[in-house]
Amino acid sequence: MLKLTSSDIKKTVFEALVIPVCEDKNIYEDLALSSLTKKAMLHKEFRGVKENELILYNLTEIAAERVMFLGLGKADKIDHELLRSTAGKAVRTCIDKDLAEVVIAVPSADALHMDVTTMIEAMLEGACLSNHIFDMYKQEKKQSVLQNIHLLVTPDTASRHKYLPPKIETICRGSILARNWVSMPANDKRPEAFARLIENEARKVKLKIEILDEKDLQKGGFGALLAVAAGSDSKPRLMVLEYDPRSAKKSLVLVGKGVTFDSGGINIKPTEGLDGMKTDMSGAAAVAATLISAARLKSGIKIIGVLPLVENMPSGSATRPGDIVKTYAGKTVEIGNTDAEGRLILIDAISYAIEKYKPDTLIDLATLTGACVVALGEKIAGIFTFDDSLAAEILASGQKTFERCWRMPLPEDYKELLKSDFADINNMPGTRYGGAITAALFLSEFVGNTRWAHIDIAGPAYSKKAGAYCTAGGTGFGVRLLCDVLDRL
């Protein structure tokens, strides 16, 4: 449980009190906290510089069993992400020490010239996101998460921000749900099983659930989606989750790429390329988790999640390079490369969603291209849209949540690269240069006049290394971003 507390640290017994400390300035108005900070600075090994850590036990002036000081560095360099990471580190250290609770002091907003709400939000997020262990597949569970996380603030701040802990906890639970799905191995989340996993969670918040199976997809004419699924003996699904609050004035469709394993198909990937391809459903995971969080938060917007779920495998029944298929929209596609499968399942899902729901805005989330990782690295997502206001909204959410995004261009003349000699369009561009852009342009051919953005999360969806508030594995990227976008639409 996340909580704000303003209880007296001199009297209240906590297992651990964590105090973030600056190297060049006292950042606490509270006298007990500032004198504890001074005391910490008397120790040679602690200067308050970044990564600095000091733990003192059984202090007489305070009831906590241990006080942990974490260095923040210089005051003018501190931003919300550093606070998020510091809170994350505090929680991780307490988990490592096998504790059950922590109290983290929130520095004075005035001292840091920051907005107090932003500070609390960031610290709640970092702490909550860090309080997660993926040990579903370990026989021996070596660690457990903390039972209670408190942020220490003034009584006035606590009462003005009462609404925040449950809100942040709901959103971060969504991120963690997505992380777990992404980290899960592909043998336990083949399309039908993954649909059931999502259904179990979606039921809890009373989302409307519709699942189209292979027969429905055949009848419906989802030729592009079926072409990707053709090689697998696990049958595809198109899952639709609907959150429809009464009196909603706006509607949003979220489409998430749900390739539960991307082998590349007949254009099979080399060994290095196959590594991590169980995470090719990260878009679908983030979209499903966002809907679940949005329902818990009672968002005022109608949101429809459309999840094409397939496994991309080579076999005797698999689609061949050069095959031509008819999409849901009626256009024909030459499948120049079976490894460019994400765009194929997305266009059928997008066409279906636009026809059926006529949304005001449509955003798709996909681990779409290796080229996007080359362009922006592993921590930044690419945003593609013709709509400047939608770009601005997503970029602002990216800054606020630190799920970083960078807008990429959609040059009209690059569409030439998608020409096919035999069909209306080719899924394989004529060059590998600009691969993230040509993939987005391919999608753009199927969105009509709908206000649309595509977010390529191939880089940030997954991390091989643990970060300050995320263990190695799925990151849940997109859930906090999209939950924040909802407030801006």
DSSP reduced 3-state for 373 = helix
Q: Tell me which H or E stretch contains 310.
A: strand 302-312
Using CB under 6 A, which of the segments 288-296, 327-335, 366-374, 442-450 binds ligand BES? 366-374
Residues 221-280 that bind ligand BES (CB under 6 A): 262, 280
Q: Work out whether strand 332-334 and strand 425-426 pair parallel, antiparallel, or are unpaired.
A: parallel
Residues 279-318 that bind ligand BES (CB under 6 A): 280
Residue 346 Cβ vs ligand BES, minimum distance, rounded to whole Å? 10
Q: What are phi and psi of 48, to 5 degrees?
A: 80, 10
Selection from ligand BES, Zn ion, none that 369 binds (CB < 5 to 8 A by kind) is ligand BES
Selection from ligand BES, Zn ion, none that 22 binds (CB < 5 to 8 A by kind) is none
Residue 382 Cβ vs ligand BES, minimum distance, rounded to whole Å? 12
Q: Is 334 in the site for ligand BES (CB under 6 A)?
A: no
Q: What are phi and psi of 239, to 5 degrees?
A: -105, 135
Q: Quick one: which of 88, 342, 473, 474 contacts ligand BES (CB under 6 A)?
A: 342
Selection from Zn ion, ligand BES, none that 371 binds (CB < 5 to 8 A by kind) is ligand BES
Q: Quick one: which of 458, 479, 482, 489 contacts ligand BES (CB under 6 A)?
A: 458
The active-site residue out of 47, 269, 320, 379 is: 269
Residue 335 Cβ vs ligand BES, minimum distance, rounded to whole Å? 11
Residue 428 Cβ vs ligand BES, minimum distance, rounded to whole Å? 6
Selection from Zn ion, ligand BES, none that 321 binds (CB < 5 to 8 A by kind) is none
Establish whether 84 is a catalytic residue.
no
Between the alpha carbon of residue 158 and those of residues 116, 152, 161, 198, the distances in Å are 11, 8, 5, 35
DSSP reduced 3-state for 226 = helix
Choose between 262 and 348: whose C-beta lies nearer to ligand BES: 262
Q: Quick one: which of 52, 337, 420, 463 contacts ligand BES (CB under 6 A)?
A: 337
Using CB under 6 A, which of the segments 124-132, 223-231, 302-310, 338-346 binds ligand BES? 338-346
Strand intervals (E) in 79-218: 101-105, 148-152, 208-212
Residue 248 Cβ vs Zn ion, minimum distance, rounded to whole Å? 33
Burial of 248 (0-12, 13-18, 19+ CB in 10 A): middle
Residue 51 backbone zone (phi > 0: left; psi -120 to 50: alpha; other: beta): left
Choose between 253 and 340: whose C-beta lies nearer to Zn ion: 340
The active-site residue out of 66, 92, 257, 343 is: 343
Q: Tell me which H or E stretch contains 262.
A: strand 258-262
Residues 416-435 that bind ligand BES (CB under 6 A): 428, 435
Which 3-state string (H, E, C) describes 25-85?
CCCCCCHHHHHHHHHHHCCCCCCCCCCCEEEEECCCCCCCCEEEEEEEECHHHCCHHHHHH
Residues 417 and 442: their CA atoms lie apart, in Å, by: 10
Selection from Zn ion, ligand BES, none that 236 binds (CB < 5 to 8 A by kind) is none
Q: Is 369 in the site for ligand BES (CB under 6 A)?
A: yes
Residue 328 Cβ vs ligand BES, minimum distance, rounded to whole Å? 19
Establish whether 269 is a catalytic residue.
yes
Residues 6 or more apart in contact with residue 76 via CB below 8 angstroms: none
Structure tokens at 464: 């091989």
Choose between 305 and 382: whose C-beta lies nearer to ligand BES: 382
Residues 290 and 452: their CA atoms lie apart, in Å, by: 18
The binding site for Zn ion (CB under 5 A) comprises 259, 262, 280, 339, 341-342
Site string for ligand BES, 370-389 (x = CB under 6 A): xx-x----------------
Residue 212 Cβ vs ligand BES, minimum distance, rounded to whole Å? 22
Residues 6 or more apart in contact with residue 67 via CB below 8 angstroms: 16, 17, 18, 19, 36, 40, 55, 56, 59
Choose between 108 and 369: whose C-beta lies nearer to ligand BES: 369
Which residue bears the tokens 């001074």? 38
DSSP reduced 3-state for 431 = coil
Q: Quick one: which of 367, 397, 401, 444 contacts ligand BES (CB under 6 A)?
A: 367
Structure tokens at 261: 């394993």
User: Closest Cα partner for 102 from 111, 113, 93?
Assistant: 93
Active site residues: 269, 343
Tell me which residues touch ligand BES (CB under 6 A).
262, 280, 337, 339-342, 367-371, 373, 428, 435, 458
